[in-house]
Homo-oligomer: A and B are copies of this chain.
Amino acid sequence: MIENTKWTGQEAACPIAPVVDIVFSRWTTPILWALHQHGRLRFVELERRVATITPKVLTQRLRQLERDGLVLRTYHPEVPPRVEYEITELGRSLAPVFATLTEWGAAHLHEVERARRDHDDAREPLDQRTYARRS
């Protein structure tokens, strides 16, 4: 069950690897963000806010987040059934991480975009010999 892509002996080489695995595995960021914004959401509400996710995958990721203690699932035995998801205190403790990320994006995202344009424009010139040619 996923079970951490083997960072065996890699934690020492890259101490943040375990954290990245937990917080930035696919779909977790938009899910946590949605739950961070609105305090408590039902399954369909989450489905709408994440928009492109399918119910199967949403379930998988929610189970993972629940297991990691970042999200709390509350089941209401009614008809029709109602389930609510909310971010936990541990999940909220990620706020500084997200804040730093937001700040970096605001300050440097345009630099990345410019680097990409420069790189893509600069391809084809004569210095291409430092790379092997494709095709």
A residues whose Cβ falls under 8 Å from a Cβ of B: 6, 9-10, 13-20, 22-24, 29-30, 33-34, 49-52, 66-70, 75, 77, 90, 93-94, 96-98, 100-105, 107-109, 111-112, 114-116, 118-120, 130
Contact = CB atoms under 8 A, between A and B. Distances in A.
A116 B118 CA distance: 45
18 contacts: A13-B49, A13-B51, A14-B30, A16-B102, A20-B29, A23-B101, A67-B115, A67-B116, A67-B120, A68-B112, A69-B111, A69-B118, A69-B119, A77-B130, A90-B111, A96-B103, A97-B101, A100-B100
A9 B101 contact: no
Given A6-B52, A13-B33, 4 more contacts: A17-B29, A67-B119, A69-B118, A90-B112
B96 A100 contact: yes
A15 B104 CA distance: 11
Contacts of A101: 16, 19-20, 23, 97
Nearest to A32: B14
B19 A105 contact: yes
Contacts of A9: 51
A104 B94 contact: yes
B15 A30 contact: no
